[in-house]
Structures are given as structure tokens and as C-alpha cells.
């Protein structure tokens, strides 16, 4: 295993760039929200996808300019390398077997805070469900993977050991979501995404996982919202009522916790299988970063 001398100055500089990107992106996102608030008085609803575009476009532009200034190419930096068809299916399988860990961290966070997505679903969907799904199932996964894995993680892993880079990039992936509920499972997923990309040698694997997770979650939330509306209930209130049921929450936490143990080992096995299939050095647990 190769030891790396950590260049703290470059690490903090990279984190600083990411923070600037987030401030600019979320600043414009808030700006869209202010404009949308005024338009609402005229009966005009701004679709959620415009908020997403306001967030991601400036962030990717900053990443592009930064990488270009360094004499690099953002496309190559991200690792848009071809993967085998079998790797695509293994990646989808990995998404399924790793999901219990996502469920566990989601439930655990709800011991302290509410279910953010359940609370916001009605506002996010609005009257444009198709645009909502495009934003959450395609735009968000692709843009976030370019930013957090392609740009941030791939540069960070050149400065610190791989495991540290995976944990730190996962942490900032959690911070990116700006709420404790999503922070917990996004951090976990960020680490898994980093490892599966190392195994495949491509950013496509984390993009596939991200698309599958967001698509599944978005569809479930959408239809749950429709169902409870048909019953004359508010989905956000139902979700909060379920969260307030301590006994049910503890049972769910224990069950998902037990499933997560098996999920962890299966996740490792599939990541190794992907590395072996793609012939990368990550086939060994302690491969050099």
C-alpha cells in the first residue's frame, strides 16, 4: 500500500473551492425562489427543475473553469470511461443490496429530525410531475456525480489516501443536501459511490446507482403523496405521525440495522466483483489509492 504525504494546503484549497461553488449555486437557487414567490401572486408556478438548474449550472461552470486553469480537462477528470454491460447489471444489483444501509441511516436520522423529502414532496412536485422526475432522477444524479465524485473526490484522492478521500467527499456530499436527514444517508452513499467508481474505473457506476436510488425514491414519494391526497390526508402529516411512533421507529431501526450488517458484506463482495470484471487494481481490499 502506497503512503501519501497529505498536502493540507491543497486539500483546504479544494474544499474552499467546493464551498464557493455551493455558496454561488445555492445563492442563485434562493434567487429563483424569491422570483418564484413574486410570480406566485400572479398565479404562476415555477417548476422545481428551474431551482435545480440554478443550482447546478454555476457550480459545474466553476468546476470547469478551475480544472481548465489547472491545465486539465473536466471530462477526463470525471472519468467518463466505458464499462462492461455486466458491470451495469452488477451496479444495479449493488444498489439493491446496499439499500438497507441507506434505510437504516434514514430511519436513524429521523429519531432526531423529520423526513425532509416527505415534508417537501408536495412543493417539489407541484403541477409538473414529469419535470420533477427529470430533475430528481436525471439532472440531480448526473450533476452531483460530476461535482462530488468527478471533480471533488477525484482531485482529493490525489492529495490524501483513498479511504480518507472517500469519507471526506462523502461528508461533503451529505453537507451538499443541507439537512440532517439526507446528510446521514448521503454521507454513506458518497463513500459507496467512491469505492464503486474505483472498482469500475468509471464515474458511470456511481451515476447509475444515483439514478436508480433517486428514481425509486422519487416515484415512491410521488405515489404516496397521491394516495394520501385521495384519502383526504396530508402526506407530510402522515410521515410525521409515523416518526412520532417511538415503538414503530425502534422496531424499524432494529430490523434495518440487522439487514444492514448483511448489506455491508454483500456490498463489499459486489464491489470486488466489479473490480475483477473491469480488471482494476481495486480488486484487492488494500490496493493503492
Please state, in angstroms and rounded to a whole number, the distance separating the CA atoms of residues 65 and 88: 31
Domain borders along the chain are 76-283
| 288 pLDDT higher than 80 | no
| Interval 207-229 mean pLDDT | 93
In terms of average pLDDT, the best of 94-103, 222-231, 239-248 is 94-103
Closest CA to 234 of 242, 140, 67: 242
In the prediction, which pLDDT does 214 show?
96
Q: Is the pLDDT of residue 207 over 60?
A: yes
- Stated pTM of the model: 0.92
Q: Under 8 Å CB-to-CB from 248, ≥6 apart: which residues?
A: 242
At 109-150, the pLDDT tens digits run 999 988 887 777 777 777 788 999 999 999 999 999 999 999
Give all strands (DSSP E) within 69-205, no chain letters. none
pLDDT at 84 over 90: yes
* Cell triple for 90: 452488477
**Collapsed DSSP state (helix, strand, coil) of residue 135:** helix
**pLDDT confidence tier of residue 189, bands split at 50, 70 and 90:** very high
Amino acid at each position: 500500500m502506497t503512503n501519501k504525504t497529505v498536502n493540507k494546503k491543497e486539500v483546504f484549497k479544494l474544499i474552499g473551492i467546493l464551498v464557493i461553488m455551493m455558496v454561488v449555486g445555492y445563492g442563485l437557487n434562493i434567487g429563483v425562489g424569491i422570483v418564484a414567490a413574486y410570480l406566485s401572486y400572479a398565479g404562476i408556478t415555477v417548476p422545481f427543475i428551474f431551482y435545480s438548474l440554478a443550482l447546478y449550472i454555476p457550480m459545474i461552470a466553476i468546476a470547469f473553469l478551475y480544472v481548465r486553469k489547472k491545465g486539465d480537462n473536466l471530462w477526463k477528470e470525471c472519468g467518463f470511461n466505458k464499462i462492461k454491460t455486466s458491470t451495469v447489471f452488477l451496479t444495479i444489483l449493488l444498489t439493491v443490496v446496499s439499500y438497507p444501509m441507506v434505510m437504516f441511516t434514514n430511519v436513524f436520522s429521523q429519531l432526531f429530525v423529520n423526513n425532509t423529502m416527505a415534508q417537501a414532496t408536495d412543493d417539489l412536485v407541484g403541477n409538473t410531475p414529469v419535470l420533477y422526475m427529470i430533475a430528481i432522477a436525471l439532472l440531480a444524479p448526473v450533476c452531483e456525480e460530476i461535482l462530488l465524485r468527478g471533480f471533488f473526490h477525484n482531485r482529493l484522492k490525489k492529495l490524501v489516501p483513498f479511504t480518507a478521500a472517500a469519507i471526506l467527499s462523502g461528508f461533503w456530499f451529505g453537507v451538499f443536501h443541507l439537512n440532517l436527514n439526507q446528510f446521514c444517508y448521503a454521507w454513506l452513499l458518497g463513500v459507496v459511490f467512491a469505492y464503486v467508481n474505483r472498482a469500475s474505473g468509471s464515474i458511470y457506476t456511481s451515476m447509475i446507482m444515483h439514478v436508480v436510488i433517486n428514481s425509486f425514491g422519487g416515484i415512491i414519494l410521488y405515489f404516496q403523496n397521491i394516495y394520501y391526497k385521495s384519502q383526504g390526508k396530508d402526506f407530510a402529516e402522515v410521515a410525521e405521525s409515523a416518526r412520532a411512533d417511538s415503538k414503530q421507529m425502534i422496531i424499524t431501526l432494529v430490523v434495518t440495522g440487522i439487514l444492514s450488517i448483511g448489506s455491508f458484506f454483500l456490498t463489499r463482495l459486489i464491489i470486488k466483483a466489479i473490480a475483477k470484471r473491469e480488471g482494476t487494481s481495486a480488486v484487492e481490499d488494500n490496493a493503492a489509492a
